Amino acid sequence: MATEEPVVYVGNKPIMSYVLACLTLFHEGASEVCIKARGKFISKAVDVVRMVTENFMWKVRIKDIKIGSEFLTDKKGSMHMVSTISIILTKEGG
């Protein structure tokens, strides 16, 4: 799948940082924005999506949600499997 939409990676920053990143991308003309997170940040990514769609931009809808997994190498060099989520938001009419 050739996805060209901008990606917001959710991590350690406060939720509003990511909400604002999404709002900025939509206001700059993006018709779709992808929100990605891994491991414990998945819950925060869902919070971001909820805030964007329910509190800030009524015309933005969830187009697709995918979950998967990735291998991560920690500081000691050992591999860990982590869950990932990828949520595509789309702006109606534009």
Q: Which residues bind a second copy (CB under 8 A)?
A: 39-43, 46-47, 49-50, 54, 62, 65-69, 81, 83, 85, 87
| Under 8 Å between Cβ of 89 and 52 | yes
Closest distance of CB 25 from a second copy, Å:
19
Question: Nearest-CA neighbor of 65 among 50, 44, 86?
Answer: 86
Range list of H helices, the chain: 15-27, 42-50
Closest distance of CB 60 from a second copy, Å:
13
**The tokens of 48 are what?**
């971001």
Q: Which is nearer to a second copy, 10 or 30 (CB)?
A: 10
Q: Which is nearer to a second copy, 28 or 74 (CB)?
A: 74
